[in-house]
Amino acid sequence: MKDEIKKACDVMRKGGVILYPTDTVWGIGCDATNEEAVKRVFEIKQRADSKAMLVLVDSPVKVDLYVEEVPDVAWDLIELTTKPLTIIYDGAKNLAPNLIAADGSVGIRVTNEAFSKQLCFSFRKAVVSTSANVSGQPAPAVFREISDEIKNAVDYVVDYRRDETGHPKPSSIIKLGKGGEVKIIRE
């Protein structure tokens, strides 16, 4: 796992795009602060850049680096969740401009899965995480379901957890508004 993390980080530091296992489904990822790398992910997914993508971080502390003001309720949600939870925050900062939604928000998930957590920790920045499929196609649950088109489009395919057969689910998504209002986007 260590070698794979080093290789993936090297590729992302050079502006490359990776295919990697996350705490949910396999993801296409890159440096979340690199506008050109984010643009490539949109191109690979054949997705309009008006459709936002989320980022992964390895620790709740890192959320503060990418959000102007984290609502207090977010800390409780992060601490109490028992499954992967993406929270959409207003006031995104320190990220590639094309990663931030038109309303200034960004989705961030604190990952607790071993590989993606160590990847984010070693990379020392947020990592884009979007499902490994062309936009509009079904999201592949496991590596073998990822199309050759996607595998061939990225700069590096992580050689870890490729043989898993379980069917992980996408994360829950909650949007936190001003004044602590909570809107459930996906359970």
pTM given for the model: 0.94
Angle at 159 between CA 118 and CA 143, to 5 degrees: 100
Surface-to-core class of residue 130, CB atoms within 10 Å of its CB (0-12 exposed, 13-18 middle, 19+ buried):
buried
State pLDDT tens for residues 93-123: 999 999 999 999 999 999 999 999 999 999 9
Question: What is the C-alpha separation between 123 and 13, in angstroms, rounded?
Answer: 8
- Mean pLDDT, range 9-26, rounded to an integer: 96
Total domains in the fold of the chain: 1
State pLDDT tens for residues 51-69: 789 999 999 999 999 999 9
**Which residue has tokens 């957890």?**
161
CB 111 within 8 A of CB 57: yes
CATH number of the CATH domain containing 151: 3.90.870.10
Question: What is the C-alpha separation between 105 and 88, in angstroms, rounded?
Answer: 6
Domain span holding position 68: 2-186
Is pLDDT of 180 > 80? no
